[in-house]
Chains A and B, each alone.
Chain A
Amino acid sequence: EPEVTQTPSHQVTQMGQEVILRCVPISNHLYFYWYRQILGQKVEFLVSFYNNEISEKSEIFDDQFSVERPDGSNFTLKIRSTKLEDSAMYFCASSEFRSGANVLTFGAGSRLTVL
Chain B
Amino acid sequence: SQQGEEDPQALSIQEGENATMNCSYKTSINNLQWYRQNSGRGLVHLILIRSNEREKHSGRLRVTLDTSKKSSSLLITASRAADTASYFCATDLDWFMEYGNKLVFGAGTILRVKS
A111 contact set on B, CB distance < 8 A: 40
CA distance A106 to B41 in the complex (A): 9
Query: Is there a chain A Cβ closer than 8 Å to B12's Cβ?
Result: no
Closest to A6 in B: B42
B92 near A48 (CB under 8 angstroms)?
A: no
Given A41-B107, A43-B105, A108-B41, A101-B50 contact (CB < 8 Å):
yes
A95 contact set on B, CB distance < 8 A: 100
Query: Is there a chain A Cβ closer than 8 Å to B2's Cβ?
Result: yes
Query: Is there a chain B Cβ closer than 8 Å to A49's Cβ?
Result: yes
Contact with B along A39-60 (1 / 0, CB 8 A): 0011111001111000110000
Q: List 10 A-B contacts (CB under 8 A).
A: A4-B42, A35-B105, A45-B103, A48-B102, A101-B50, A103-B48, A106-B44, A107-B42, A108-B42, A109-B40
Residues of B within 8 A of A (CB): 2, 30-31, 33, 35, 40-45, 48, 50, 88, 90, 92, 97, 99-108
Other A-B contacts than A32-B100, A48-B99, 20 sampled, CB-CB below 8 A, are: A31-B97, A31-B99, A31-B100, A42-B106, A42-B107, A45-B103, A45-B104, A45-B105, A56-B99, A56-B102, A101-B30, A101-B31, A101-B48, A101-B50, A104-B90, A104-B103, A106-B35, A106-B44, A108-B42, A109-B42
